[in-house]
Structures are given as C-alpha cells and as structure tokens.
C-alpha cells in the first residue's frame, strides 16, 4: 500500500502497488479486497525518479516519478527504509535493460567519495535559507519539547536533494563533519547518546527520531512531562513498527487503509488516515491488557463484514473493544502480532 496523489483532483488515495519489469501497476481496494483489474499503470520506460523528494513539506517520505510524457506521480512511503527500498527497486526496473547503470546505482549506494571542493560554510548558509533551507520544526523527545529542530533523516534527505551528497552514507559523513565543526548540535536523548560512540560513522544518526539543531540557536525551550498534554505523551514513545494495514470501521463496518504506528514506553497503537494532510492520528489505544490473535482465513469470522482478502488479525482492548485488521500477507500478519504481543 502506498498513497498516490491524483492527477485531476490533487488529493491522495491509497492504492496497492505491484512493480513489474517495465511498469508499476496500482489497484483500488474495495470492501477490504483488491480489485482484479488495475486502476492505472505507470510506464517506466524513459521514467526519471526523484528520491528523496521534498516538494511537500508535510510529506517527507515521497518518491516522484516523471514519465517520458512529463506526467508526475507522487508516491508516499511509511518509513525511510521503505521509501529507499521502493526507490532502489523502481530504479532497477527503469534501467533493467542497462545492467551497467544498475551496477553503478548499487556502487553509489554503498560507496563514499566526498567532493573535493566541499565547503561546510556554504552548506550551512544554504541550510539557513528561508525558502530552500532545512525546515525547522517543534519536536518532542522523552516528554521534552524542542523548538527549531530537524531530524537526522531530514538533514540526510536535504543534503542529497541539494546535491551535496549522492548517497545516504555520504550525507551522514557530511552531517558528522557539520557536528564536529560545531555548526549543528544534538538535542534529546538519542542523538546526544550517539555522539559518545567510539565509531565516527555512528556519531550522527540517519533517523527520524534523532533531533538536531543549529549550534547558534538559542538554548532549548523544554517543558516537563507534567506540562505535556496526555495525547502528546502517548505519542512520545519509541516507534517499534509502522506500516499500512486495512482496518474495519467501528460504525459503518467498511474497510479503509490506515497507516499504523506501534510505540513502546508508553505502549500504544495509533492509526492515521494517509490521505489527510495534518498527520494526526484518527484513532488509537493503549496496548496494556490487550489480546491479539490471528484469525483463520477460511470463511469470514464473526464480527467481520465484507468479502475480505484475508490475513486477518484481531485486537481486543481491556475495555472489550474489538479491532479487525488485515495485513498484506501472512508473513506481515505474523510480524505485527509478534511486535504487539510483548507490549500488552
């Protein structure tokens, strides 16, 4: 499942994608089941791919595909790892007839060659640019709020998209140099602890939960855990797993694709509407006291409506609320159940 932006009405719809050698097919999900015929196709011959794509500030995990007829497709992934995996596979399909280019792609991904004329001062100056620089946001870490920060993965994306680096490894090395030269500094527990690593390559974290800020920024403004609203505190846990799943609604009993985020300390499972722009959960619940189990695929279990695809599992909260969820495969269902169980 990936959210895709429409061409006529520029809204976002979640579609099921299948990558073939020369095309990317996408299918509509209706009533909890993938339709047999594709809703559309993206022809990869002559396609160009942009990743990371930073054209939408509130959607940092985009892949942009431009066809040879100059049609733009924007696909959103659930995590940086998923985005990079899709981008690598799509790029491989685009260049399938050119094995030398595929070899070069893998070489660039795994090698490092710093530009000889690189200027850290120039990079920092560009980072400060009000229109094209790194986006500064408020972030929460261990119950503390930090103003004007950016995440490690956001800086890596920015360095690559501005051609300061051609691979994530290069970008991490550049970011580490910026930190060593006191242009940026870590804030929060994760990024601060990483600086104590004896391995230079692990001092800067290419991670969406590691926070950094400009060294010249004013001292961090924090608030104690007691001052943080409960909804913020339950969203402050460490992300254990995230991904797209299909969920049955409580009232209308219809099936919708939702982005699920599993957190620990505190243990919560939240779900988001990936077609919305605000990136706020539309629901969620504490996992303490919950029961989670797989449902048999032969027949429709009691409580489940519609001709569903299968790979179902159920979560029952301590308040006896039943959640019916579909994974995309049996293996993914097992992964989710095994991730949730220790947190209940």
The CATH number of the domain holding residue 267 is: 2.30.29.30
If pLDDT is split at 50, 70 and 90, which confidence band does 297 have? Answer: low
Residue 7 lies in a domain: no
Between 219 and 307, the higher pLDDT residue: 307
Verify that 257 and 202 share a domain, yes or no. Answer: no
247, 262 contact by CB (below 8 A) = no
Could you tell me if residue 4 is inside a domain? no
- Indicate the residue among 51, 78, 109 that finishes a domain: 109
What CATH number should be reported for the domain holding residue 202? Answer: 1.10.10.10
Please write the tens of the pLDDT for every residue from 107-122: 555 444 445 456 777 8
For residue 34, what are the domain limits? 15-109
Q: What DSSP character marks residue 60?
A: T
Distances (CA, A) of 38 to 25, 47, 63, 125, 254: 6, 20, 20, 46, 21
The DSSP result for 269-303, as a single string, is: EEEE-TT-SS--EEEEEE-TT-EEEE--SSSPPTT
Residue with tokens 């219809």: 254
pLDDT tens digit sequence for 73-104: 999 998 888 888 899 899 989 887 665 655 55
> What is the rounded average pLDDT of the residues 317-335?
93
Statement to judge: residues 78 and 132 lie in one domain: no
The C-alpha atoms of residue 261 and residue 240 are separated, in whole angstroms, by: 8
Read off the pLDDT of residues 245-268 as tens digits, 9 standing for 90 and up: 999 987 778 889 999 999 998 899
Tell me which of 56, 85, 109 is where a domain ends: 109
Residues 89 and 127 occupy one common structural domain: no
Based on the fold, state whether residues 203 and 291 are members of the same structural domain.
no
Whether residue 221 lies inside any domain: the answer is no
Contact 140, 222 (CB under 8 A): no
- What is the predicted pLDDT for the residue at 300? 65
Task: Note whether residue 1 is domain-resident.
Answer: no
Model pTM? 0.68
Task: Report the domain count for the chain.
Answer: 3
């Amino acid at each position: 499942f990936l959210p895709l932006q429409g061409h006529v009405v520029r809204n976002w719809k979640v579609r099921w994608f299948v990558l073939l050698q020369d095309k990317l097919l996408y299918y509509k999900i209706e009533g909890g089941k993938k339709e047999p015929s594709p809703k559309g196709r993206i022809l990869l011959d002559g396609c160009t791919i942009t990743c990371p794509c930073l054209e939408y500030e509130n959607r940092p995990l985009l892949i942009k595909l431009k066809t040879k007829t100059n049609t733009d497709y924007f696909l959103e992934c659930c995590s940086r790892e998923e985005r990079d995996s899709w981008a690598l596979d799509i790029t491989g399909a685009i260049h399938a007839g050119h094995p030398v280019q595929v070899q070069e792609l893998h070489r660039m991904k795994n090698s490092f060659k710093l530009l000889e004329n690189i200027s850290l001062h120039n990079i920092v100056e560009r980072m400060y640019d009000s229109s094209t620089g790194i986006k500064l946001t408020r972030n929460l870490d261990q119950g503390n709020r930090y103003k004007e920060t950016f995440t490690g993965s956001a800086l890596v994306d920015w360095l690559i998209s501005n051609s300061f680096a051609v691979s994530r490894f290069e970008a991490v090395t550049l970011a580490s140099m910026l930190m060593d030269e006191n242009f940026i500094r870590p804030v929060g527990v994760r990024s601060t602890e990483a600086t104590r690593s004896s391995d230079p390559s692990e001092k800067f974290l290419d991670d969406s939960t590691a926070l950094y800020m400009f060294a010249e920024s004013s001292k961090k403004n924090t608030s104690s855990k007691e001052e943080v609203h409960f909804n913020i505190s339950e969203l402050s846990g460490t992300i254990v797993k995230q991904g797209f799943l299909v969920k049955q609604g409580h009232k209308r009993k219809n099936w919708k694709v939702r982005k699920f985020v599993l957190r620990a300390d505190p243990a919560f499972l939240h779900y988001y509407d990936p077609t919305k722009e605000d990136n706020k959960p539309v629901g969620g619940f504490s996992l303490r006291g919950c029961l989670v189990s797989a449902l048999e695929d032969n027949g429709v279990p009691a409580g489940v409506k519609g001709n569903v695809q299968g790979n179902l599992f159920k979560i029952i909260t301590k308040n006896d609320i039943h959640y019916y969820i579909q994974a995309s495969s049996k293996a993914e269902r097992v992964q989710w159940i095994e991730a949730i169980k220790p947190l209940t």
